[in-house]
């Protein structure tokens, strides 16, 4: 029995039952305090790893008239003012042409998606698949097809829905977005990427930048083109009179009065198709047609179906024609002829010289401030060896120079030579000239305020990111994580409290032990004397 007593040296004999409670309590409090101090210290040290909120993902498919592109976006699971801080982490283009060209075989659309979608599945971590929203937005190509053949458009969307419903992502729908939406989302993207909505503060929080302005957005697609910019309230009345173009965009707790307009049939492909139709109208059938916008020595053929089959050229078609009949076009690379023919694609007369009118009688306030020109604007400028900002004269003389080259010289002039694009740059350059100068009324003075850009950082400028940004408002924030006191005063206070408790417990234990030792040495323990007998 002596050994038992020896194992409990702190137990004061004679007070056994009474004194055990405070000792156990003190030990428990001591251990708890040590545990709390250790946990806080460890979590504070590995704060980012232990409490990292992680990333959320979103996928947007931009189904344009000439191709479909998938964008993967990511943002921290925590959100600022209910809108995520979104950046592009991956993009890939689907094989083949735009979805609107599958009007005869809608069931084939999913097959061209597969390669790119496989990469998208790899880019988003497996456990996040089910919570990752996926949206498909179709633009002008599908808007035109829907007007022309609604059944075909619906069948294509139906076939796409079936495909995405079988994907591991949270599919949120395949929709045809309006031209105005396309314009506004492009404007949101351009300004978001330039940091006009949010900026990182010194404390790594996000804040609205002080005194930040906005930039206008110029988008040139295959089938339509959009212009969007913030226009003062004085213009609001004029817009109301003209009944178009004004929207109010609320984002990050701010409200922006925006002018936006989308011109269907004024995208690069449809505009060029309209030019071919016009050239055909002007010439006797059967002969080889001259296209002053095609490079010298370039010849190609189109069927009448290809030229007149679009809603944009329907009105130019002869009363009856054989859609299978082929017509040949020969390029002459004549810049001044090309500029004249391209100008005829716009109706500049219906504005009757009014200041607040672009073309085709469309109301537009005077352009103001800086602009970002992307998509077709960027690709065309880039083919002319121009990017960023440059003068109107530089653009004009580069266009002139480019158009003067013969077809056989182009492969050595262009970094990437593809017939379908190479033959059209001369046309596009003149087209952009008319659109921006005679249409939107950019002048020699305001032209240099336009930045021709494809991406900012690693994110593409286009409507898809703006779409994603707006839709993140509908993605609920993840359940808030348990946050330990991270602000220094609170953290130090908690740490000091538990450290003090630990020290007090230790002191109390030492005190109890010392009392027992004193007793033990002066009078033999009760148990011990009993055992000895």
Ligand X SMILES: *[C@@H]1O[C@H](CO)[C@@H](O)[C@H](O)[C@H]1NC(C)=O
DSSP character for 476? P
| Distance of alpha carbon 471 from alpha carbon 59, whole angstroms | 11
CB of 67: closest distance to ligand X in angstroms?
24
Taking CB under 6 A as the binding criterion, the range among 98-106, 139-147, 202-210, 315-323 that sits at the site for ligand X is: 202-210
Comparison of 64 and 376: residue with beta carbon closer to ligand X = 376
Instruction: Report d(CA 54, CA 184) in Å as an integer.
Output: 30
Whether 523 is catalytic: no
Is 394 a binder of ligand X (CB under 6 A)? no
Contact stretch for ligand X (CB under 6 A) within 26-34, 292-300, 396-404, 505-513: 396-404
Report in angstroms how near the CB of residue 392 gets to ligand X at its nearest: 7
Q: Are 307 and 327 in contact (CB under 8 A)?
A: yes
Residue 80 or 103 having the CB closest to ligand X: 80
Contact 307, 280 (CB under 8 A): yes
Q: Does 438 bind ligand X (CB under 6 A)?
A: no
Choose one: 8-16, 239-247, 394-402, 482-490; the region binding ligand X (CB under 6 A): 394-402
According to CB under 6 A, which one of 207, 484, 506, 509 is a site residue for ligand X? 207
Map 250-317 to HEC letters: EECCEEEEEEEEEEECCCHHHHHHHHHHHHHHHCCCCCCEEECCCCECCEEEEEHHHHHCCCCCHHHC
Closest by CA position to 50, among listed 449, 486, 389, 493 = 486
Mask 276-305, x = binds ligand X (CB under 6 A)?
A: ------------------------------
CB closer to ligand X out of 208 and 241: 208
Calpha distance 229→186 (Å, rounded): 10
Neighbouring C-beta atoms of residue 290, cutoff 10 Å: 16
Q: Considering only CA atoms, which of 160, 21, 17 is closest in space to residue 94?
A: 160
Return the residues of window 106-125 that contact ligand X according to CB under 6 A: none
Residue 81 found at the interface with ligand X (CB under 6 A): yes
- Give me the helix-helix angle, 425-433 and 376-383, nearest 10°: 120
Interacting residue with ligand X among 86, 190, 198, 471 (CB under 6 A) = 198
Rounded Cα gap, residues 101 and 222, in angstroms: 13
Q: Which of 187, 371, 402, 440 binds ligand X (CB under 6 A)?
A: 402
Side-chain-side CA neighbours of 80 within 13 Å: the count stands at 17
d(CA 364, CA 342): 21
User: Distance (Å, rounded) from C-alpha 374 to C-alpha 191?
Assistant: 13
User: 167 or 385: whose CB is closer to ligand X?
Assistant: 385
Closer CB to ligand X, residue 412 or residue 474?
412
Closer by beta carbon to ligand X, 172 or else 441 = 441
Structural element, H or E, at residue 484: none
413 binds ligand X (CB under 6 A): yes
Nearer to ligand X (CB atom), residue 321 or residue 400 = 400
| Cβ distance to ligand X smaller for residue 41 or 397 | 397
Does residue 206 touch ligand X according to CB under 6 A? yes
Residue selected from 151, 299, 326, 397 as contacting ligand X according to rule CB under 6 A = 397
Is the Cβ of residue 267 or residue 295 nearer to ligand X in the bound state? 295
- Residue 443 interacting with ligand X (CB under 6 A): no
* Angle of helix 425-433 versus helix 335-343 axis, rounded to 10: 60
Task: Compute the least distance from the CB of residue 197 to ligand X, in Å.
Answer: 7
Q: Per CB under 6 A, does 400 bind ligand X?
A: yes
Count interface residues toward ligand X (CB under 6 A): 15
- Contact characters 41-80, ligand X, x per CB under 6 A: ---------------------------------------x
Q: Of 326, 311, 324, nearest to 103 (Cα)?
A: 311
Q: How many CA atoms lie within 13 A of 387 on its CB side?
A: 11
Least Å distance between CB 411 and ligand X?
11
Q: Which of 47, 95, 208, 241 binds ligand X (CB under 6 A)?
A: 208
> Closest separation between CB of residue 258 and ligand X, Å?
18
Q: What residues between 247 and 266 interact with ligand X by CB under 6 A?
A: 252-253
Q: From the candidates 11, 181, 182, 453, give the one annotated as an active-site residue.
A: 182
Count of Cβ atoms closer than 10 Å to residue 107 Cβ: 13
End-to-end CA distance of the chain: 12
The rounded distance, in Å, linking the Cα atoms of 341 and 430 is 10
In degrees and rounded to multiples of 5, residue 8 shows phi and psi of -120, 70
From 345, 273, 344, select the one nearest 313 (Cα to Cα): 273
Of 75, 49, 52, 63, the closest CA to residue 106 belongs to 63
Binding site for ligand X (CB under 6 A): 80-81, 198, 206-208, 252-253, 384-385, 396-397, 400, 402, 413
Residues with a catalytic annotation lie at: 182
């Amino acid at each position: 029995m002596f050994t038992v007593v020896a194992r409990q040296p702190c137990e004061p004999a004679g007070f056994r039952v009474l004194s055990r409670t405070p000792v156990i309590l003190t030990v428990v409090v001591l251990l708890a305090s040590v545990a709390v101090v250790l946990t806080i210290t460890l979590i504070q040290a590995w704060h980012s790893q232990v409490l990292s909120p992680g990333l959320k993902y979103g996928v947007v498919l931009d189904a344009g008239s000439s191709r479909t592109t998938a964008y993967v976006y990511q943002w921290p699971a925590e959100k600022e003012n209910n809108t995520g801080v979104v950046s592009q982490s991956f993009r890939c283009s689907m094989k083949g042409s735009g979805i609107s060209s599958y009007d005869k075989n809608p069931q084939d659309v999913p097959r061209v998606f597969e390669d790119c979608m496989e990469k998208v599945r790899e880019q988003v971590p497996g456990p996040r698949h089910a919570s990752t929203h996926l949206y498909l937005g179709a633009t002008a190509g599908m808007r035109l097809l829907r007007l022309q053949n609604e059944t075909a458009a619906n069948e294509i969307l139906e076939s796409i829905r079936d495909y995405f419903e079988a994907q591991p992502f949270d599919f949120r729908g395949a929709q045809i977005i309006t031209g105005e939406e396309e314009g506004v989302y492009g404007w949101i993207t351009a300004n978001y990427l330039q940091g006009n909505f949010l900026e990182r503060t010194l404390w790594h929080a996000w804040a609205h930048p002080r005194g930040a302005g906005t930039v206008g957005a110029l988008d040139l697609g295959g089938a339509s083109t959009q212009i969007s910019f913030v226009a003062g309230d004085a213009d609001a009345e004029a817009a109301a009179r003209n009944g178009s173009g004004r929207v109010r965009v609320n984002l990050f707790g701010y409200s922006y009065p925006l002018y936006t307009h989308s011109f269907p049939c004024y995208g690069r492909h449809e505009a060029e198709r309209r030019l071919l139709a016009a050239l055909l109208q002007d010439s006797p059938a059967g002969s080889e047609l001259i296209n002053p916008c095609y490079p010298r020595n370039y010849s190609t053929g189109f069927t009448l179906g290809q030229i007149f089959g679009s809603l944009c050229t329907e009105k130019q078609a002869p009363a009856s024609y054989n859609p299978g009949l082929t017509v040949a076009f020969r390029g002459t690379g004549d810049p001044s002829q090309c500029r004249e023919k391209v100008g005829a694609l716009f109706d500049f007369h219906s504005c009757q010289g009014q200041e607040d009118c672009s073309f085709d009688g469309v109301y537009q306030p005077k352009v103001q401030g800086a602009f970002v020109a992307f998509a077709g604007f960027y690709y065309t400028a880039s083919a002319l060896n121009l990017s960023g900002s440059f003068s109107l004269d530089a653009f004009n003389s580069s266009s002139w120079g480019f158009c003067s080259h013969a077809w056989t010289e182009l492969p050595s002039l262009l970094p990437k030579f593809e017939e379908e694009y190479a033959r059209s740059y001369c046309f596009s350059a003149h087209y952009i000239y008319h659109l921006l100068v005679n249409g939107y009324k950019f002048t020699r003075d305001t032209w240099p305020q336009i930045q021709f850009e494809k991406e900012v950082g690693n994110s593409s400028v286009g409507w898809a990111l703006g779409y994603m940004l707006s839709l993140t408002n509908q993605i609920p924030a993840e359940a808030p994580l348990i946050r330990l006191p991270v602000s220094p005063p609170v953290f130090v206070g908690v740490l000091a409290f538990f450290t003090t408790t630990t020290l007090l417990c230790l002191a109390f234990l030492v005190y109890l032990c010392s009392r027992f030792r004193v007793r033990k040495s002066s009078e033999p323990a009760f148990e011990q004397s009993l055992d000895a007998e």
